[in-house]
Amino acid sequence: MTSTNAAIDPRFEIARIDRRIFGGFVEHLGRHIYDGIHEPSHPTADADGFRADVVELVRELGVSTIRYPGGNFVSGYRWEDGVGPVEQRPRRLDLAWHSTETNEVGLHEFARWLELVGSDLMLAVNLGTRGTQEAIDLLEYVNADADTAWTRQRIANGRSEPFGVRMWCLGNEMDGPWQLGHRNADDYGKLASRTAKAMRMLDPGVELVVCGSSGSGMPTFGSWERTVLEHTFDDVDFISCHSYYQERFGDAQEFLASGVDMSRFIASVVAIADAVAATKKSDKRIMISFDEWNVWYLHNDEGGQDDKPVEPGWPVAPRLLEDQYHALDAVVFGDLLVTLLQHSDRVRSASLAQLVNVIAPIMTEPGGPAWRQTTFFPFSLTSRLAGDRAISVPVESGTFESERFGTVANVNAVATLDDDGASLFVVNRSTTAGEELRIDVSALAEALGRSLSIAESHLLHDDDRYAANTLADPERVGVAPLTDAAIDGGILTFALPPISWAAVRLG
């Protein structure tokens, strides 16, 4: 056990937190929609076929804005297929995931599901196989309040009032050679600029996200962002970041440094965006929409991928990307959330990819139960406990050596503040060393004008780092109170075992 010193001081404010940082992502992929959120034959299904048990878990998870309908899926999607009478909708081949899309769930159905779970809609437009005209057609259908052919169709399809979608993604991962309609940065930047200008002519209030690189490991990372923003800087509000993490070759300690990678990724994109602003002599600041992030075992240790169905042909809703998450994954996941909050001055939106069955915190069995994966807990608790403002928490702790990142602190933390108190989110990244935390909260108490007490505390840790919640044992891993947490003389103390994440609410 080594000693960690830190402080929560309101003077170290980072920024006000945009609640869209607790967003999610739903794609027509595998069993996410069908047999996930939508299963008409399930005992809990409502009149629209949505599973009530999944609705309750998504509400508990606390997702704010949900990005839809993709993802790779959107680059081959015709949005018109998902509106109108369900029995008349066409079945289509989905080239992205080698599946058949039935279009039973489309825009109207998904919007009704969002009302059930209490989340806002964030839409992506297809700039892969389609273009500007189709994007503004969709925007007119969704947001216009004039009397037009598109709005009459919307009304005929059961929605008299506009959907009022504010946030829109201009395509998805357009630098990826796997993407339908893949383009180079120059061609995509020109298309995105034309589309953004047209969308603003129709609805000046929309907030637009231009595609950044699919990941910091892309060969064109950096140059892609610069070129795209040189074309679109005046037209958009956000640039996207996507990043996924996994343990490779059994190296848990290196995996636990994933938050460092995310932090450097964000800093690099911010630097590029601000460099473009400088060349344009503009004080505008492009924000980041980190609209895909998660732990995802995309590659096995031989470098292969498992993202196509094992069934022959083009199956409907095959089991794809159904990762089982361990306690270790949940700790890394919690650290990624800490990192996003540490960058809340520029990360104004983020989307956990994804929500149900597909690399998801929630799993379901057809006709059976739904349960929480280990990653469910850090997200739901952070979303619920996070206050209005992010506060930097400088930490002095033990360290470890990372092959990629050099010397890395064992402990990483961030706090949030609101009128009623503060919340602390902290992780111990070490695989071997426990940490005894001593956190000075005297400045916080002074700023709030009252003494502090521990309103609630939560520890996520398991002696078996590979323990998981499964269909057979859905409650194997959970959270427990920090039984040793105490405040004495303005100092908050508690211990963190190796590979652990914790949240403390100070009231």
Q: Which two tokens stand for residue 129?
A: 């196989």
The token pair that represents 376 in the structure block = 């469910």
Neighbours of 459 (CB within 10 A): 21
Q: Among all residues, which ones are annotated catalytic?
A: 173, 292
| 142: helix, strand or coil | helix
Distance CA 206, CA 197 (A): 11
What six digits make up the tokens of 116?
A: 């059930």
Residue 305 per-residue DSSP state: B
In 3-state terms, the chain is what percent helix, strand and coil (to 5)?
30, 25, 45
Whether the CB-CB separation of 224 and 213 falls below 8 Å is answered with: yes
Assess contact for 413 and 426: CB atoms under 8 A: yes
Distance of CA 403 to the CA centre of its chain: 27
Residue tagged 């780092």 (tokens): 465
The CB-based long-range contact list for 77-81 (8 Å cut-off, 24+ gap) reads 77/28, 77/126, 78/126, 78/130, 78/134, 79/106, 79/107, 79/126, 79/134, 79/138, 79/141, 81/106
Structure tokens at 501: 């994440």
Please state the length of the chain.
507
* Rounded distance between C-alpha atoms, residue 215 and residue 319, angstroms: 25
DSSP state at residue 468: B
Round to whole Å and give the CA distance between 374 and 365: 17
Q: Are 310 and 318 in contact (CB under 8 A)?
A: yes
222-226: long-range contacts at Cβ-Cβ below 8 A with a sequence spacing of 24 or more?
A: 222/268, 222/272, 223/185, 224/175, 224/185, 225/269, 225/272, 225/273, 226/272, 226/275, 226/276
